[in-house]
Amino acid sequence: SQQGEEDPQALSIQEGENATMNCSYKTSINNLQWYRQNSGRGLVHLILIRSNEREKHSGRLRVTLDTSKKSSSLLITASRAADTASYFCATPSINDYKLSFGAGTTVTVRA
Amino acid sequence: ETGVTQTPRHLVMGMTNKKSLKCEQHLGHNAMYWYKQSAKKPLELMFVYSLEERVENNSVPSRFSPECPNSSHLFLHLHTLQPEDSALYLCASSQEGTGVSGYTFGSGTRLTVV
């Protein structure tokens, strides 16, 4: 069953701008993960944030987690054309390692 | 290459055909998964294998039959499929038991049922 929901569904930005997308989930989690999917390809794991962490960075990616609001955000700074993709949040349940994915945010970066 | 290889990349099959999708991982992971991704829908978890034992079957129709002969290989056998089964089928693996890990996905098989 779907656990996470991303917002917005689609996002179009100019190269160099920042892109922010949000994820809300329903049940308690051990961690929350973000994945990227280029058109018609498999998903690539970007970053994992544990439930006891509030913020995490990886290169141009910044992820926040607010367990009280059951929400997370992914910020991509200084976007590039290569960042054009769909981005998904995924969560395992508290006693379960199986991931449930949201419907994704489609990001288009215009040159 | 991600370390998870799926074949074939594309498959067109008739509703009366029997075909198999193959997934192979050499990452030493102990869990493997089949997901279905249809247009404009979230990824649907179909099957989970942990230590070669099936631990999840999410009400998937019997026309989909998984097989995990060892920890490195996962198959999805297909027979008498319907047009609505056309989708991208994704295999993934992970190392479970550590409490926290991410999945490694293959590039998927684009299946078209005609």
> Is the CB of B107 inside 8 Å of chain A's CB atoms?
yes
Percent of chain A with pLDDT over 70: 93
- pLDDT top residue among B56 and B98: B56
Task: State whether A43 and B33 contact (CB < 8 Å).
Answer: no
**Is B40 a residue whose pLDDT tops 80?**
no
**Is A75 a residue whose pLDDT tops 90?**
yes
Kindly report the average pLDDT of chain B as a whole number: 90
B51: exposed, middle or buried (Cβ count in 10 Å: 0-12, 13-18, 19+):
exposed
How large is the average pLDDT for residues A13-38?
Answer: 94
Percent of chain B with pLDDT over 70: 92
How large is the average pLDDT for residues A80-104?
Answer: 86
HSE value, Cβ hemisphere, 13 Å, CA-based, for B110 = 7
**Is A2 a residue whose pLDDT tops 70?**
no
Distance CA B96, CA A99 (A): 12
Cβ neighbours for B45, distance < 8 A, ≥ 6 positions apart: A98, A99, A100, B33, B34, B35, B56, B58
Distance CA A4, CA A65 (A): 13
Identify the bridge partners of residue B93 per DSSP, sorted by sequence position. Answer: B32, B104
Distance CA A101, CA A4 (A): 6
Kindly report the average pLDDT of chain A as a whole number: 91
Q: What is the pLDDT of residue B72?
A: 94
Q: Reduced to 3 states, what is the DSSP secondary structure of residue A81?
A: helix
How large is the average pLDDT for residues B81-96?
Answer: 93
Distance CA A17, CA A28 (A): 33
Quote the Cα angle for A78-A79-A82, to 5°: 140
Going through A51-104 in order, the beta strands assigned E by DSSP cover 55-58, 61-66, 71-76, 85-92, 99-101
How large is the average pLDDT for residues A38-64?
Answer: 94
Chain A CA closest to residue B55 = A98
Is the CB of residue B108 less than 8 Å from the CB of residue B89? yes
Q: Reduced to 3 states, what is the DSSP secondary structure of residue B51?
A: coil
- Reference A90, options A29, A12, A17; nearest CA is A29
Q: What is the pLDDT of residue A98?
A: 79
Q: Reduced to 3 states, what is the DSSP secondary structure of residue B84?
A: helix
Q: What is the pLDDT of residue B74?
A: 96
How large is the average pLDDT for residues A37-55?
Answer: 93
Task: State whether A30 and B99 contact (CB < 8 Å).
Answer: yes
Chain B CA closest to residue A50 = B100
How large is the average pLDDT for residues B26-51?
Answer: 89
Q: What is the pLDDT of residue A1?
A: 47
**Is A85 a residue whose pLDDT tops 50?**
yes
Q: What is the pLDDT of residue A94?
A: 64
Q: Reduced to 3 states, what is the DSSP secondary structure of residue B72?
A: coil
Identify the bridge partners of residue A3 per DSSP, sorted by sequence position. Answer: none
Task: State whether B100 and A30 contact (CB < 8 Å).
Answer: yes
